[in-house]
Amino acid sequence: MDKFYVAATRSTPYIKFDPPANTFIISGESYPENAAMFYTPVFAWLTEFFDLPDPAPITFDLELIYFNSSSSKALMNLFTMLERLVVAGKDITVNWRYYADNDTALECGEEFMEDAPGLKINLVEVERPE
């Protein structure tokens, strides 16, 4: 299956899904004009990928500095999707990476943990790049 890659823009995140490298990254800012439309191909790729037999354990690295309310909805849909897959027996971990001075990002990570209790979400504090 082809890798999934989207370059970052000012209002949309960098996305790279590369299964052989176990790389599943979404990072940057997310406030597109239409978040539902922006994330549709992301969900299409993931749906196809998870239909493949027995993928290895997977780790998502999410590092979102800012996302608007409709992107938050898309992220909740992602976590709900992953949670269902975990219940169905897949091995999936999410690292929610946030900068130490970004209280909002930490709080958002904590809320996603509460709202997708069946999914393993680690809160990972990272250094803000200079």
Binding site for other proteins (CB under 8 A): 9-11, 31-36, 66, 68-70, 72-73, 76, 80, 101-104, 111, 114-115
Q: What are the DSSP E strand ranges found in 76-130?
A: 92-99, 120-126
CA pair distance 130, 127, nearest whole angstrom = 9
What separation in angstroms does the CA of 129 have from each of 18, 27, 66? 24, 13, 15
Residue among 11 and 23 whose Cβ is closer to other proteins? 11
Query: CB of 60: closest distance to other proteins in angstroms?
Result: 19
Report helix, strand or coil for 108.
helix
CA pair distance 87, 85, nearest whole angstrom = 5
Residue among 43 and 49 whose Cβ is closer to other proteins? 43
Query: CB of 53: closest distance to other proteins in angstroms?
Result: 30
Which amino acid is located at 89 in the chain? G
Residue among 2 and 115 whose Cβ is closer to other proteins? 115
Query: CB of 10: closest distance to other proteins in angstroms?
Result: 4
Residue among 49 and 106 whose Cβ is closer to other proteins? 106
Query: CB of 54: closest distance to other proteins in angstroms?
Result: 29
The count of C-alpha atoms lying within 13 angstroms of the C-alpha of 4, restricted to the half-sphere facing its C-beta, is 20
